Amino acid sequence: MKDLRKIILFFSILSSLQAQTSLEHDYYVSNFNSFNFLNSELASIAQIYDTWNDQQLHFRWNGHLYHGKNLSLHGSIRNRLFAGFTWQENLNNFKEQLDIDFLDLTSIDTKNLGIHHQIDRLFGTWEKGKVNIRVGRQRINWGIQNYWNSHDLFNQINFLNFDYIENPGTDAIRIQYYQGNNSFEIALNSKIQAGLYMFNLYKYDFQILLAKYYEDYSLGFGWAGQIKNAGFKGEFNYFMATEETENTLVGSLSFDYSFKNGIYLSTGCLYRNQVEEFNPFSLYSLDVSAKSPMPFQYNFLYQIMYPVHPLVQIGGALIHDAELDFVFLNPQLSISISEELDLMLGSQMTFLKILDQLEDINQIAFTRIQWNL
């Protein structure tokens, strides 16, 4: 009889836990192929081939565990299989850049093939009323611009690295407080401690940023609104150096407009008062940050997207510096084959001015097919 009571009690507790706890998950598989064509003179200087091919098979899993009304746990893992020239020759120290910390693991490392695992999201959330607290590896996206975000202190986006859809996370504690149209956030880890205040005024969204960013202090201001029917955004951040380095101002403006026929246009400009000498070999492995989203003083971007069919979209982007010493073209074609299957075809073409003449430095053609499950 006592054993029966214990069994009933056990299943009662189990049922209670099951009623409060739920697990949701999703995942996708993608195959990314790239074909690289490097300027023959640069290839000779670097002592590498001027043409090569890379392949990547990617399996991503996202899990969400909810307990009650307030607690949740979230985790995501990237599993990627690499093959091709970049892996074989460890181009630009590719392998060393994969293993960042203890949540990265290269399980297979052979001459022709590698498999790498990365947990890029792992955080717990407590939410009640107007307060949300997150602890762990998470995405902190404070930028109000479409691109080149000087307010993204924790997670800066590399515009050229388009294949990382989710973008990297960071280990931090984040506290959010909402009050009507206004909100206040604090986020901090061992290197960055920052606060962000967001409010709405005259149909514009504004934000003010104050932070200790590594060895600098930063003060930022941004807005998003409309002029007539066109979107108008701005994002500026001033980094005050505490050591021997100079103060840095990073700012960007952008306009975007959507036509009735579906055409979307966007243009923007990024300014940096402190720039370093540009190395063309580092273009596709840029160490981007809030202080350095792009390597030039003035950076201009133009983007167009057009849905030629409900399931087909074409578009492209053009980036250049003020003197047209650097020109970057990125045409793309996206096709929704089915509800679960997407195909993207595209290219990245880079031109640099050498001896007063614009030279073709590198071309990359790529395909990506993604199966969402």
Q: Is the pLDDT of residue 368 over 70?
A: yes
In a domain, 208, yes or no: yes
- Give the per-residue pLDDT at 12: 53
Judge whether 361 lies within some domain: yes
Residue 158 is assigned to a structural domain of this protein: yes
pLDDT value for 282: 65
pLDDT at position 6? 55
DSSP for 259-278, please give it: -TTS-EEEEEEEEES-----
Classify residue 5: in a domain, yes or no. Answer: no
Query: Is 9 inside a domain boundary?
Result: no
Q: Residue 131's domain spans which residues?
A: 20-372
CATH assignment at residue 346: 2.40.160.10
Q: Is the pLDDT of residue 134 over 70?
A: yes
182 belongs to a structural domain: yes
Q: Are strands 312-321 and 326-336 parallel, antiparallel or unpaired?
A: antiparallel
Summarize the confidence of residues 25-43 as an average pLDDT: 93
* pLDDT confidence of residue 15: 52
Answer yes or no: is 12 within a domain.
no
Output the pLDDT for position 144: 94
pLDDT digits (tens, 9 = 90+) for 295-352: 899 999 999 999 999 999 999 999 999 988 899 999 999 999 999 999 999 999 999 9
Mean pLDDT computed over 28-55: 92
pLDDT tens digits for range 278-287: 766 666 667 8
Q: Tens of pLDDT along 69-98?
A: 899 999 999 999 999 999 999 988 899 988
Residue among 80, 139, 74 at smallest CA distance from 105:
80
Q: For the chain, how many structural domains are there in total?
A: 1
Q: Is residue 317 part of a domain?
A: yes
Task: Identify whether the C-beta of residue 296 lies closer than 8 Å to the C-beta of residue 320.
Answer: no
Going by pLDDT thresholds of 50, 70 and 90, the confidence category of residue 130 is very high
Say whether pLDDT at 5 is over 60: no
Nearest to 213 by CA among 236, 186, 240: 240
Q: Return the minimum-mean-pLDDT range out of 89-98, 170-179, 204-213, 332-341.
A: 89-98
CA distance 311 to 77: 29
Query: In the predicted model, is pLDDT for residue 8 greater than 70?
Result: no
- Beta strands 341-354 and 192-201: pairing type? unpaired
Which of 28-37, 154-163, 277-286 tops mean pLDDT?
A: 28-37
User: Rounded distance, CA 47 to CA 38, Å?
Assistant: 12
